[in-house]
């Protein structure tokens, strides 16, 4: 594809309301084993009354039945991207030399600890997994209280990560420019939007693009 070329894209209405990470609702055979273990832990506890045991068992049965009865198309829940309209106020566009640019802005990068990160330090993870920013950016963010683990600011990048830790880093984000080409809307109805997508503009937020992605441009 050459610069200036147009690509016709079909975007469903769901792309505007449900773009982002996927949260999986697991329904596996191991659930039954976990349920049995929980029930045994409850029943053998002599401090619990019979009524308490029955209440806990009922709650467990309802929880596991709910997971097992989920149809396939509902086992993946998408997070709404534009649920909070304030995200449109975080920055503004400006146009220069034929490019659409975004004023730099502060942004919170949030993620959860992955299995391969267990026991590693924040410094190791940011160096190997998030190399888009040099480590000096994260060190500066630590001094400003912008790096957090489980919503608590850390004083050093040498903190070791544990399972299910939530990691946050507030950084000054600089998005890459894209071509200042008008997005032509071909069709817009209740089910979908058809547009001519200019080159250089990604469809969804990714890497160095967020406000300069197609869904953000159209939403704004």
At which residue do the structure tokens 């079909």 appear?
10
Q: Is the pLDDT of residue 139 over 70?
A: yes
Superfamily of chain region 6-22+80-219: RNA-binding S4 domain (3.10.290.10)
The contacts of residue 37 (CB under 8 Å, 6+ apart) are none
Say how many CA atoms lie within 13 Å of 154 toward its Cβ.
Answer: 24
Cα 198 off chain centre by? 26
Give the closest residue to 5 by CA, choosing from 132, 181, 208.
181
Q: Quick one: pLDDT at residue 59? A: 57
Cα 77 off chain centre by? 12
Mean pLDDT value of segment 120-146 = 92
Cα 161 off chain centre by? 19
Residue limits of CATH 3.10.290.10 in the chain: 6-22+80-219
Mean pLDDT value of segment 91-104 = 95
Q: How far apart are CA 44 and CA 27, in angstroms?
A: 26
Exposed / middle / buried, residue 209 (Cβ in 10 Å: 0-12, 13-18, 19+): buried
Q: What is the pLDDT of residues 60-92, one digit of tens each?
A: 555 444 444 445 444 444 555 566 667 778 899
Q: Which of 26-35, 152-161, 201-210 has maximum average pLDDT?
A: 152-161
Mean pLDDT value of segment 143-165 = 93
Q: Is the pLDDT of residue 205 over 50?
A: yes
Q: Could you tell me the pTM of the whole model?
A: 0.57
Q: Is the pLDDT of residue 103 over 70?
A: yes
Q: How far apart are CA 208 and CA 128, in angstroms?
A: 17
Q: Quick one: pLDDT at residue 54? A: 60
* Cβ count within 10 A of residue 141: 24
Q: Quick one: pLDDT at residue 60? A: 52
Helix (H, G, I), strand (E, B) or coil at 201: coil
Cα 155 off chain centre by? 25
Q: How far apart are CA 35 and CA 59, in angstroms?
A: 11
């Amino acid at each position: 594809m050459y610069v200036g070329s147009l690509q016709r894209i079909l975007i469903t209405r769901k792309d505007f309301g449900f773009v982002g990470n996927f949260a999986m609702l697991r329904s596996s055979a191991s659930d039954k084993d976990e349920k049995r273990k929980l029930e045994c832990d409850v029943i053998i506890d002599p401090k619990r009354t019979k009524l308490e045991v029955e209440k806990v068992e009922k709650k467990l049965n309802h929880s596991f039945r709910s997971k097992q009865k989920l149809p396939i198309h509902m086992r993946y829940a998408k997070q709404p991207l534009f649920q909070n309209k304030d995200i449109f106020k975080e920055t503004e566009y400006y146009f220069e030399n034929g490019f659409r640019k975004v004023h730099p802005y502060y942004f919170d990068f949030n993620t959860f600890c992955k299995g391969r990160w267990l026991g590693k330090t924040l410094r190791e993870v940011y160096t190997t997994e998030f190399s888009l920013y040099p480590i000096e950016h994260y060190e500066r963010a630590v001094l400003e209280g912008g790096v957090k683990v489980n919503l608590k600011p850390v004083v050093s990048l040498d903190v070791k990560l544990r399972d299910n830790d939530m990691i946050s880093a507030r950084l000054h984000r600089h998005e890459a420019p894209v071509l200042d080409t008008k997005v032509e809307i071909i069709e817009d109805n209740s089910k979908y939007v058809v547009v001519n997508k200019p080159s250089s503009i990604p469809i969804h937020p990714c890497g160095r693009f967020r406000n300069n992605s197609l869904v953000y441009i159209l939403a704004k």
